[in-house]
Amino acid sequence: MGQQITLALRQSIHRIVLVLVSFLPGVLAFLLALIVFTLIGWVISALLRRLLVALRFDERLASREAPNSPAVLADWSPSNSPTLLAARTAFWICVLAGIAVGISAFDASYTSGSEYSFFLLPYVAHLTGAILILLAGGILARFLARSVLIGAVNAQLHYARFLSLGIKWLVLVLAAAMALDHLRIGGGIVELAFGILFGGIVLTLSLAIGLGSRDLVTRSIEKTLDMNPPKPTPISPTEFPTRTDPDPRPKLRHF
Amino acid sequence: MPPTLTQDETLPATGLITPAAADLLICLPAITPDALPAALETIAAAFPNESLLVASSSTNEQKPDSITLIPYPTDRSGLGWILAASDYAAASKLAADHTAATILLLSDAPTPTGAPLLRALADTIRSTRVDLAVPRFHLGPSEGLVTSAILYPLSRALFGVDIRFPLPTEAALSPRMAQRLASTAQRLITLNQGASLLWPVAEAAIGGLSVREVDAAETSPPAPPQEDFNTLFTNVVNSLFADIESKASFWQRARILPTRPVTAPSQPSIEAATVSPDILSTIESFHLAAANLQEIWSLVLPPQSRLALKKLSELPAAAFAMEPNLWARIVYDFALAFHLRTLNRNHLVGAMIPLYLAWVAGHLRTINDDSTTTQPIQQTAAAFEAEKSYFVSRWRWPDRFNP
């Protein structure tokens, strides 16, 4: 009995050691590829940055872009520097290439695991796509939230912050749902949850705007009525309105 | 697409005579066909016994005998009510073609009361050898507020030119001034920015050309047709900041005008002050922004300015006033953020509007009548001059003032 247990344990340890021995070279190859390509990416990024700084890339690009254009490249770049954007893009392309090469090397060294790389490589591509969707969604959400906030404040809407937050979360929820869908996680649950969340946010915003704009709409209707007064009907002297004078205050002229 | 004027370009045929040369060229880039006959009458009355060359995109058979109409490039772009880069380029081209000695550029149809101003503008160029003559309007306390708050103080402090209206709607130019403006305009047109505004006073300062103001007490500047103040403000301030950015090497070493003593206007007592609905409305805009835009302001303004704004937002309407030095620093900080691209430029200028409205509220509360209008504006301009060293320091070492 004891011998059988010992034998079973030995065989189990032996199998695990065998798996590890065949697995470790693949992991090491993956790590080596990743480190080498990261180093290459770092070198390329540094060289590219130096080159672009020497060429005054940012200044040249800024001078070629219209100052009033709504979205220039610098606005989307980290620290508002297209040079930095190019350098970082080059770096991350190299890192992604390192991951792809590492997975391939892992496949080559771990003979029985070809199905792993067959599964992992497309999944890494999907993961990269999902991360990019999230990043783009985050940037777009921030841009739109600021646009709405500033526009609403200048339009003197008291629920400006609420509106801005609503827009921001709409875009973020949309981006998150797209990313999950891209990764094929959740399936129908994500679609359902997204529909509920998106619809909820839109409904909340509509209610908020509708309730908050009552005064604005009232004023607008009053103004329209003032511009197109109805034909006077004979009224008794006791029914004269209390306010008949036009607004006497001077209007501001900014220009 | 803005008009790019080349030697080979054929202007639209109108069946009009093209003279060989003229002393005075008057350009009417934005005139409508309906307004042209009255405008020609005014021009003829302003320059009696003179042979005139008038460039207009509209045609009119019933013109005074002294006037010769020539075609003007019709594809005009820009804000409409103000002279844009493409207008200066077109005027310079026409002046060169007809060897005009004086160029008068009008953004709007002249009214009969404006005839003496036209005459005075042209005479200033012809008789005093000045390169640029612009009108000096006499506005009421609630008029021309953007000019009083931003355009005039910045122009005076950075370029050392004491011109009250640095963004003219009418201007008289010498040929060399027109040539200089045309070369700048052509650069903008090449970059597909012909609709951009041009700042002739700053150009004259950089080129060492002389500028003079002509009194225009009887006339008022044309009002912008566009009712959306936010868009207009964004366009004008964006253009001004871009101009300041492009001329940084000049104004960092330029000497400012000798400071004139300006006495602070007496603040109306809190009890006596009457707060008009306009002032209340602008203060309300500022309070709303102070509650919502702190995050954006914190990207642009240093802590001491934000603290001062916080204190300002706590003041009652009857005591509301923005210190000129605080306003000057705020404008300089926004100009710097525009240069550094701290955030999207339209967002940046949009976030500046409530601060400008806060200045307007304080300005209107300070002014009691038309006679006291000048003093606060001069005080604001003096504050911009005093704070110029702050701007230069921040421009050179942007991070020094932030913790």
Domain ranges for chain B:
24-251, 277-401
Contact B197/A at CB under 8 A:
no
Same domain, A105 and A145: no
Q: Is the pLDDT of residue B132 over 90?
A: yes
Q: Is the pLDDT of residue A247 over 80?
A: no
pLDDT of residue B68: 84
Shortest distance between the Cα of B98 and any Cα of chain A, in A, equals 33
In a domain, A157, yes or no: yes
Shortest distance between the Cα of A149 and any Cα of chain B, in A, equals 8
pLDDT of residue A241: 38
pLDDT of residue A243: 37
Shortest distance between the Cα of A215 and any Cα of chain B, in A, equals 15
pLDDT of residue A224: 65
Q: Please classify residue B128 by burial: count the beta carbons closer than 10 Å to its beta carbon, then call 0-12 exposed, 13-18 middle and 19+ buried.
A: exposed
- Give B338-353 pLDDT, tens digit per residue: 998 888 999 999 999 9
Q: Tokens 């739109």 correspond to what residue?
A: A144
- Give B85-128 pLDDT, tens digit per residue: 888 888 888 888 888 889 998 888 888 788 888 889 998 998 88
List the strands of the sheet with B67-71, edge to edge: B67-71, B52-56, B24-28, B102-106, B170-173, B132-137, B211-216
Same domain, A43 and A138: no
Shortest distance between the Cα of A67 and any Cα of chain B, in A, equals 7
pLDDT of residue B169: 86
B223–A66 CB contact, under 8 Å: no
Q: Is the pLDDT of residue A167 over 50?
A: yes
**Which residue of chain A has the CA closest to B140?**
A253
pLDDT of residue B3: 38
- Give A42-96 pLDDT, tens digit per residue: 999 999 999 988 888 877 776 666 554 544 555 555 556 778 888 998 999 999 8
Contact in structure between A168 and A141 (CB atoms under 8 Å): yes
Which of A223-232, B40-49, B52-61, B291-300 reaches the highest mean pLDDT? B291-300
Least confident of A112-116, B241-245, B304-308: A112-116
Tell me which of B190 and B354 has the higher pLDDT: B354
**Span B311-324, average pLDDT:** 89
B191–A254 CB contact, under 8 Å: no
Same domain, A99 and A190: no
In a domain, A162, yes or no: yes
Helix (H) or strand (E) holding A165: helix A160-183
Tell me which of A193 and B173 has the higher pLDDT: B173
Helix count and strand count (H, E) for chain B: 16, 7
Optimal mutation site among A75, A154, A168, A247, interface B, most CBs of chain B within 10 A: A154
Q: Is B55 helix (H, G, I), strand (E, B) or coil?
A: strand
Q: Is B71 helix (H, G, I), strand (E, B) or coil?
A: strand
**Which residue of chain A has the CA closest to B341?**
A80
In a domain, A244, yes or no: no
Identify the domain containing residue A54 by its residue range.
Answer: 7-60+80-109
In a domain, A249, yes or no: no
Contact A151/B at CB under 8 A:
yes
In a domain, A74, yes or no: no
Which pair of tokens denotes residue B375? 């003093």
Optimal mutation site among B82, B275, B347, interface A, most CBs of chain A within 10 A: B347
Same domain, A91 and A44: yes
Optimal mutation site among B147, B229, B288, interface A, most CBs of chain A within 10 A: B288
pLDDT of residue A192: 85
**Span A213-242, average pLDDT:** 56
pLDDT of residue A245: 41
Same domain, A141 and A97: no
**Which residue of chain B has the CA closest to A253?**
B143
**Span A30-38, average pLDDT:** 91
Report the distance separating Cα B232 and Cα B229, nearest Å. Answer: 5
- The ipTM, to two decimals, is 0.82
Average pLDDT, chain A: 78
In a domain, A2, yes or no: no
Which residues of B, range 39-78, sit inside 8 Å of A by Cβ? Answer: none
Same domain, A26 and A93: yes
Which residues of B, range 16-35, sit inside 8 Å of A by Cβ? Answer: none
**Span B261-277, average pLDDT:** 57
pLDDT of residue B350: 95
In a domain, A232, yes or no: no
**Span B268-288, average pLDDT:** 74
Q: Domains in chain A: how many in total? A: 2
Facing B347 at nearest CB: one of A146, A158, A251 = A146
In a domain, A68, yes or no: no
A75–B343 CB contact, under 8 Å: yes
CATH 3.90.550 correct for B24-251:
yes
pLDDT confidence band for B18 (50 / 70 / 90): very low
Strand-pair partners of B171: B105
Cα Rg of chain B, angstroms: 22
Q: What is the DSSP string of B1-53?
A: ------TTPPPPP-S----S--SEEEEETT--TTTHHHHHHHHHHHSTT--EE
Contacts of A165 (CB under 8 A, 6+ apart): A145
The fraction of chain A above a pLDDT of 70, given in percent, is 73
Facing B351 at nearest CB: one of A74, A150, A253 = A150
Facing B354 at nearest CB: one of A72, A151, A153 = A153
pLDDT of residue A40: 94
pLDDT of residue B216: 86
Backbone dihedral region for residue B129 (phi beyond 0: left; psi -120 to 50: alpha; all else: beta): left
Shortest distance between the Cα of B288 and any Cα of chain A, in A, equals 7
pLDDT of residue A91: 93
pLDDT of residue B351: 95
Report the distance separating Cα B27 and Cα B47, nearest Å. Answer: 15
Cα four-point dihedral sign B366, B367, B371, B376: positive
Least confident of A102-111, B248-257, B262-271, B315-324: B262-271
Contact B239/A at CB under 8 A:
yes
**HSE-up (13 A, CA, CB side) for residue B91:** 35
**Which residue of chain A has the CA closest to B194?**
A66
Average pLDDT, chain B: 82
Tell me which of B372 and A232 has the higher pLDDT: B372
pLDDT of residue B1: 38
- Give B51-89 pLDDT, tens digit per residue: 888 888 777 667 777 888 888 876 665 556 788 888 888
